[in-house]
Amino acid sequence: MDEVDIAIVGAGAAGLAAAEIVAASGLTGVVLEARDRLGGRAHTIQTAIGPIDLGCEWLHSADRNPLVARVEALGLTLDKTPPPWANIADNPVFTRDERAAFGEAFTALDARLDAAARAGGPDRPASDLMDPDSPWTPLLNAFSAFYNGAEFDQVSLHDYAAYEDTEVNWRVAEGYGTAIAGLGGRLSTRLSCPVTMIRHGGPRVTLETPQGDVTARAVIVCAPTAILATGALRFMPALPDKLDAAAGLPLGLADKVFLRLQEPEMFPPETQVYGDPHTTATGAYHLRPLGKPIIEVFLGGAHARALEGQGPGAAAAFAIDELVGVYGGDIRAKLHVLAETHWAADPFAGGSYSHALPGHAGARAVLAEPVDQRLFFAGEACSPNFFSTAHGAWQTGQVAARAAVAALTA
Detail the DSSP E strand segments found in 303-383.
Answer: 335-340, 353-354, 375-377
At 113-162, the pLDDT tens digits run 999 999 999 999 999 999 999 999 999 999 999 999 999 999 999 999 99
The whole domain housing 162 covers: 84-168+254-340
Q: Is residue 248 predicted with pLDDT exceeding 90?
A: yes
At 163-198, the pLDDT tens digits run 999 999 999 999 999 999 999 778 999 999 999 999
Mean pLDDT of 51-55: 98
Give 1's pLDDT tier (boundaries 50, 70, 90): low
Distance (Å, whole) CA 257 – CA 271: 16
The string of DSSP codes covering 326-349 is: HH-GGGGGGEEEEEE--TTT-TTT
| Number of structural domains in the chain | 2
At 3-37, the pLDDT tens digits run 999 999 999 999 999 999 999 999 999 999 999 99
Domain end call among 315, 340, 365: 340
Same domain flag for 264 and 192: no
Residue 186: Cβ within 10 Å count: 15
Same domain flag for 33 and 73: yes
Residues 139-148, buried b or exposed e (16+ Cβ, 10 A)? bbbbbbbbbb
Distance (Å, whole) CA 348 – CA 69: 29
Residue 244: Cβ within 10 Å count: 15
Residue 356: Cβ within 10 Å count: 26
Same domain flag for 394 and 272: no
* Pairing mode of beta strands 214-221, 375-377: parallel
The model carries a pTM of: 0.96
| Percent of the chain scoring above 70 in pLDDT | 100
Same domain flag for 200 and 219: yes
